[in-house]
Structure formats: C-alpha cells, structure tokens
Chain A
Amino acid sequence: MTVDWQVFTPWSALAGGLLIGAAAALLVWSAGRIAGISGILAGFARRDGFSAWRIAFVAGLLAAPWLVGALAPQWPLVGTHWSAADYPRLIVAGLLVGIGTRLANGCTSGHGVCGLARLSLRSLWAVAVFMGTAGLVVFAVRHVPGAGA
C-alpha cells in the first residue's frame, strides 16, 4: 500500500465529511429520519413514499452542484472519468448497486456514515463487506492481466 500524496486531499476530504455528518444530524433532528440515500430513493417505489421531506431532501441533493457552481465556480464538480464507451458498465453497475443496497438496507450513507455513527454492528458488517468487495473488483480490473475492461 503506497499513499499517492499527489492526489490525497486531506483537508477538503475532512471538511466535506464534516458537512455530510452535519447534514445527517440535521435530518434526524428536523425530520427524525436517517440520511440513507438508497433507502430514501427506494421510498419512491411505494405509493405512500412521495412524502414532502423525501422530495425535499432529494431536491437538495440535485441542487447542491448548482449552489457550489454559484458560490465557487472554480471548484471541480463531478470529474470526467467515464466516456460513452463505458455506459454498458455503468448500467450493469447501477443495477447491482440498486439491488444490492435495497437487499442490504443501506449504502455508503445509510450504513457507512449513519450506521457507524449509530454504533450499529450490522452496519459495520455491511461496510466491511461492500468495501472489501469493491476493493477486490478494482484490484481485478487494474492489477490482474486480462481481467480488466
């Protein structure tokens, strides 16, 4: 394991993390809800799921890049890692992330941030498994000859 000091951004990572944690605290305080993005999105599959708080939260997520763009136009927003040739991979990945996070009842936010912050043992298992699996996938794609796409 070699840290790439050229790309490591400790201060912005920590600052962003503090904002995310504050957002989770604000949502539980104001609406009594857990800021798990996959769970919130899954709610729209239910007829009673279109509640005001859920719509408002997702609207905030969608509006965030526009707010950052207005306040700090130089700040990089989303990167340009994938091109049109990668779309099939992204569709497969999207299905896997959707099915997986619903079965597991949570993703990086619900288990990773909120679950660990709530000291949930279930969430610790989930994080260890999804992070370990994702690490293996990246290892296979980048370091196993012939396995990469």
Chain B
Amino acid sequence: MKARETLGALAAGLLFGVGLIVSGMTDPAKVLAFLDFAGAWDPSLALVMAGAIAVAHIGFRATGRLAREGRADGRLILGSVLFGLGWGLAGYCPGPVVVAAGALSPAALVMLPALLAGLWITERWLARGAARDQSK
C-alpha cells in the first residue's frame, strides 16, 4: 500500500511536470500572453485546463472524490485576489515555478523561496489560529 502510494505519487509528479512543459505553461511569457486578454491573446492555457479537467474528472468520479465542500467565503476570495496579483506580476503559479526550478531557471529559483516563505508563514499562522480556537 505504502509502495503504491509513493511510486504512484512519483509517477504523478513526473507526469504532471511533463504535462506542464509540453503545454508550454513553464514559460511565463506564454502564461502572461493568455492573461493579456486585451492584447495579442494566446488561448493555449484554456485548452490546457479543458484537457486536464476532462481527464481528471473521470479519475475523481471513478474514485468517488467529487466535491462535497461548502460555499466560497471571504478567506477564499481574499486569498484568490492575492494569488491573482502575484500570478499576473510573474506569470508563474506554484506548479510551473517548481518545475522551472527543477530545470534550474534563475527566475524560478529566485521566486520559489519567496513563494515557499509565503506559504509556510501563512500555514503556521493559520495553524496557530486553529489551535487558539480549540483551546477556548
């Protein structure tokens, strides 16, 4: 069970990374060209998502993991605004920045530590808040 989990995750990570490279999403210029709706628009990212969602949907349906989560809240919206600001500035979201760092892209190697710092500070801060709520 453990071996299947670990080997499956390794293969999934490889496949995910290869997919990002094949689709061109590890090149920030291509991502920014998608986000530039008013300029010379490159729709590629929409096709990446359509293909990925279609296949992943089959997987989630087959494993009984379709969504049961509730509604959007303020934290989700605020977080998505902050993420959108950073994504629009850099053209890198978390997956591509990790893969590009693996390829030793200097820009990705500069951005990844800042991204991890942001993630980990926020994760610790949220965990502390949750612990405080429990002790009340």
Contact = CB atoms under 8 A, between A and B. Distances in A.
B97 to A, nearest CB: 8
Contact of B113 (A52, A53, A94, A100): A94
Interface in A93-143: 93-105, 107-109, 111-123, 125-127, 129-139, 141-143
B118 A94 contact: yes
B82 A64 contact: no
A53 B28 contact: no
Nearest to A116: B53
Contact of B43 (A8, A19, A69, A134): A8
A131 B43 CA distance: 13
Contacts of A103: 75-76, 78-79, 82, 122, 126
Interface string A23-38: 1111111111111011
Given A1-B41, A4-B33, A142-B36, A102 B47 contact: no
B69 to A, nearest CB: 5
A18 B13 contact: no
A117 B56 contact: yes
B108 to A, nearest CB: 7
Nearest to B105: A78
B114 interface: yes
B60 A25 contact: yes
Contacts of B124: 45
A129 B87 CA distance: 12
20 contacts: A1-B41, A8-B42, A9-B24, A9-B44, A16-B22, A18-B54, A20-B19, A23-B15, A26-B8, A27-B9, A28-B65, A62-B98, A63-B14, A64-B99, A77-B105, A81-B27, A109-B93, A116-B53, A122-B67, A137-B84
Given A20-B19, A104-B82, 17 more contacts: A7-B44, A13-B45, A22-B59, A24-B16, A28-B60, A32-B63, A63-B13, A64-B13, A64-B21, A90-B89, A102-B123, A103-B78, A113-B49, A118-B60, A122-B71, A137-B88, A139-B37
Interface of B: 2, 4-30, 32-33, 35-45, 47-60, 62-63, 65-67, 69-72, 75-95, 97-103, 105-108, 110-124, 126-127
In the A-B complex, list the 8 residue pairs whose CB atoms are closest, starting with the nearest: A98-B118, A60-B13, A30-B8, A16-B23, A64-B17, A25-B59, A133-B84, A17-B51
